[in-house]
Amino acid sequence: MNTTPNQPIAAPAPESPAARLRPDLRAIAELVDPATRVLDIGCGDGALLEHLRDRKQVRGRGIELTEAGVLACVRRGLSVRQGNVQEGLADYPDLSFDSVILSQTLPFLDDPAMVLGEMLRVGRTAIVSFSNWGHWRCRLELLFTGRIPVAVDLPQQWYESPRRQPFSVTDFARFCRQVDIEIDRQVYMNRGVRIRTGRFKNLLSTTAVFTLHRRSR
């Protein structure tokens, strides 16, 4: 076998910043327009806000409950305040932002109608992501084991803190109609991969990402 001594090994291609984001956050980032005002409530370590700031020149702010998350955001040079998701919007005037983001937090809210209403008061558009308990694996687990399933993209037992309320894509669509919220754009994912679902979005998707606005009267 012929070999070339001391042949340099090509360095692996660097991973893009977007690839390091959680899959639903990548989908959210694609839905945010460049150079807009964004509020991310429950922003965690600020990875999404940092990406939007650096890649889309967004003017972003965050609200985060945990001290560790706030410190991580500060290290990234982000503007963030510590506060509860369900109380953190009261100080913002109407239409302060173009987009308000809530990722993977809806199942943990005591009053989702109030929070979404506040999001659409302070923002022109709300963007939400959540895990779908209507996925076929969840249905089969409940059918064959009699136990409340763990969502495919949210591996948390029912007794763990914070407590969550399971719901499906169909549940959320019906809820939006009841509270006069209109679903605009929709993204469906299965284990982090974007999919085309057609009529079977509630059966095949493990995570959904929606943009929302107030229904016109």
Give pLDDT tens digits for 69-103.
999 999 999 999 998 887 779 889 999 999 999 99
- How much is the average pLDDT of 34-62? 97
17: pLDDT strictly greater than 70: no
pLDDT > 70 in the chain, percent:
91
Q: What per-residue confidence (pLDDT) applies to 153? A: 82
Q: Does any domain span residue 43? A: yes
8: pLDDT strictly greater than 90: no
Tell me the CATH number at 22. Answer: 3.40.50.150
Q: What per-residue confidence (pLDDT) applies to 4? A: 47
Please count the structural domains in the chain. Answer: 1
143: pLDDT strictly greater than 90: yes
Find out whether the peptide bond into 162 is cis, omega within 30 degrees of 0.
yes
CA distances 202 to 22, 131, 170, Å, are 21, 11, 6
Q: Does any domain span residue 2? A: no
Q: Does any domain span residue 10? A: no
Q: Does any domain span residue 140? A: yes
- How much is the average pLDDT of 194-209? 92
Q: Does any domain span residue 62? A: yes
Q: What per-residue confidence (pLDDT) applies to 3? A: 47
For residue 94, count CB atoms less than 10 angstroms from its CB and return exposed for 0-12, middle for 13-18, buried for 19 or more: exposed
Q: Does any domain span residue 42? A: yes
Q: Does any domain span residue 8? A: no
Q: What per-residue confidence (pLDDT) applies to 148? A: 85
Q: What per-residue confidence (pLDDT) applies to 12? A: 46
Contact 189, 24 (CB under 8 A): yes
157-186 tens-digit pLDDT = 878 888 889 999 999 999 999 999 999 999
Average pLDDT of every residue of the chain:
89
Q: Does any domain span residue 45? A: yes
- How much is the average pLDDT of 187-214? 94
Phi, psi dihedrals of residue 82, rounded to the nearest 5°: -90, 130
Domain that holds residue 102: 17-214
